[in-house]
Amino acid sequence: MLRVRLKPGARVEPGATILDLDAAESRLVLDKLVEQVRLQRNEERRKRLSLDRTLAELTSRAALSEIDLKSYRIRLEQSERLRESGLVSDDDMRRARVLATLSDVHAQRVATGMPVRIRVNEEACAASCQPSRTA
């Protein structure tokens, strides 16, 4: 409050100024609150964008995992049919089963949002399915 314009007991006319108030401090508080709200809204937008980006990435990973899974299942089915005719070796059959299983685990982990550390690598699988040679 800056100044009292009327003395106690004075008659007050409608529209008359009784007090002069200093609104500077109130304006500063209001400006600070408005700035805080603006910062919170910006943070909320940033988090929403980040969540949208993460959702798009996970959706993409899930779709790719499903495609991989279907592909490896088809390969396994083909290998099983060819194995019945004697056209696929035991190692190739094991490799097809391992790849289908790894792909299934990968797809399940992606679908549940679990961290995925399994990378289906056909070359590594082929090497691990080879019979060990001892010299």
Phi, psi of 130 (to 5 degrees): -70, 145
The verdict on pTM exceeding 0.85 is no
How many C-beta atoms surround the C-beta of residue 43 within 10 A? 10
Tokens 């995992």 sit at which residue? 65
Q: Which of 82, 132, 81, 124 is nearest to 99 (CA)?
A: 124
The string of DSSP letters for 48-112 reads HHHHHHHHHHHHHHHHHHHHHHHHHHHHHHHHHHHHHTT-S-HHHHHHHHHHHHHHHHHHHHHHH
Domain boundaries, position 27: 23-129
Query: Could you tell me if residue 93 is inside a domain?
Result: yes
Q: Is there a domain that residue 41 lies in? A: yes
Backbone angles phi, psi at 2, to 5 degrees: -95, -45
Residue 131, pLDDT > 50, answer: no
The per-residue pLDDT for range 39-48, each reduced to its tens digit, is 999 999 999 9
> Residues 111-128: pLDDT tens digits?
787 666 555 555 555 554
Residue 59 covered by a domain:
yes
C-alpha span between 85 and 90 (Å, rounded): 13
Domains in the chain: how many in total? 1
Other Cβ atoms within 10 Å of 107 Cβ, number: 21
Look at residue 9 and tell me if it is in a domain: no
Q: Is 20 helix (H, G, I), strand (E, B) or coil?
A: strand
Report the pLDDT averaged over residues 17-31.
88
Question: Is 12 part of a structural domain of the chain?
Answer: no
Residue 10 counted as domain residue: no
